[in-house]
Amino acid sequence: MKMAEIMMLPVAPYEVNGRNIFDTGISTVGRGGHDYFCAHCGRQMVHNMDLSKIEAEILYKCSCGGLNVPPPVE
């Protein structure tokens, strides 16, 4: 699989709706996949992971405080 650079989609605090929030901290590094960038500040949040394989609906919190979701898989 070719690694892609993927811009996340922004989520506002009122849109959380009880979904789990994962704090990526400085950076979360996986073992194969893509790079994901915060929709709020543009920072790389997740490196080398495939978030589309995670079935649970999780929001990803950047160190800037912004909440993000991965874009839908095409």
Please give the residue ranges that form the binding site for Zn ion (CB under 5 A): 38, 40-41, 43, 62, 64, 66
* Residue 57: closest CA among 7, 14, 20, 9: 20
Q: Shortest gap between Cβ of 31 and Zn ion (angstroms)?
A: 23
Q: Shortest gap between Cβ of 1 and Zn ion (angstroms)?
A: 25
Q: State which residue, 59 or 62, has the beta carbon closest to Zn ion.
A: 62
Task: Give dist(CA 66, CA 74) in Å, integer.
Answer: 24
Task: Yes or no: say if 30 and 46 are a contact pair by the CB < 8 Å rule.
Answer: yes
Q: Shortest gap between Cβ of 28 and Zn ion (angstroms)?
A: 13
